Structure 1
């Protein structure tokens, strides 16, 4: 993972237009039960992950108040967990299985920005979805970092555009993809038909075209 991320503050724009600042939190998963009255530590992490899934839309402040409890309750109901508003081992385990770390969000946003800058917003979400579809596929690595930096996988790595600072839409696109919007319709590849030189990529089953990108399996 981003070895030099340090104390990076990640600004993310939510679908409702609220900008929040998320401090990097390196807490280990499932190590502590947190509930109303607790502060910081795992609470930052919990709020960030609930936000990814659309359950938490308040300011990420590291304070386990009523809004955080309500978000946990909604999450627990959706996943058939014990509904008590307390984030214990089972709740944290389920959240970790459906969300990503701040470093992973940052890396995906950089890739979306590098690969789909200038594309329609739907196309940005589709690129983010391809990344997630690869993580879920047995044909690709199962870690975000390994998917992004697999040899020759993404042009933005080769030409350095991955290193550009993502804009707000890149972060939003990643969040939308995590929440289940997949405009690529399950694609694990995409390419620009005007610049693609590989005969192999043309052999893939094409699904849809969004902007300049054709999405395929």
Structure 2
């Protein structure tokens, strides 16, 4: 009997110890500067460029102080990179390459925003935000162009106009979005913040 409870306990612990793909954080949103660190050392640690890290934190110089909190770019795992590529494919199929990059950038901006979940998976599966999640088209594979657009959007973090929303006004109307500031229009999509 004791063995049976032990086995059940081990199974229960295993279920809680292993998370589903994309459910865990693929990145940390901030880094606390330690004595002796530089933008270069921190960027190398996280696999991003020091210029991108500096730009994301609105730093005109490379001076940082111990204890300072730095925002970090989103660094997704393979699952989240594929998920984002499939979303871009489904949402921006037929749009220009720039439109695909912009759609991926909206998702990454949402990860960084306090208004949305802190992971790509969380943002994409947040309620009824994206129609491809609802209609199942997100399950279709991404094209090489959509994958390349995601790669560019990841490298572009910190240099964009902070768009958090997009929609096609020919297909959808929204009083909520009509109150937002338009950041750019690319193809059939209007991007807003």
TM range (shorter): 0.5 to 0.7
The alignment covers a number of residue pairs equal to 139
- CA deviation map 1:157-179 (0-9, x unaligned): 11221111110011000000000
How far does residue 181 in structure 1 lie from its aligned partner after superposition? 6.3
Look up the match of 1:139.
115
SS at match of 2:89: helix
1:1-217 equivalent positions in 2, closer than 5 A: 3=21, 79-81=39-41, 91-92=44-45, 94-95=46-47, 98=73, 99-180=75-156, 185-217=161-193
TM-score norm. by structure 1 comes to 0.57
How far does residue 183 in structure 1 lie from its aligned partner after superposition? 8.8
Alignment RMSD, CA only?
A: 3.0
SS at match of 1:81: helix
SS at match of 1:119: coil
More helix by share: 2
SS at match of 2:156: coil
Q: For residues 120 and 77 of structure 2, what CA distance do their matches in structure 1 show?
A: 10
Q: For residues 183 and 128 of structure 1, what CA distance do their matches in structure 2 show?
A: 14
Q: For residues 106 and 80 of structure 2, what CA distance do their matches in structure 1 show?
A: 15
How far does residue 200 in structure 1 lie from its aligned partner after superposition? 1.5
SS at match of 1:152: coil
Q: Which consecutive aligned stretches of 4+ in structure 1 deviate over 6 angstroms post-superposition?
A: 181-184
Structure 1 stretch displaced more, 194-203 or 109-118: 194-203
Segments of structure 2 that go 5 or more residues without pairing to the other structure are 1-18, 28-37, 49-71
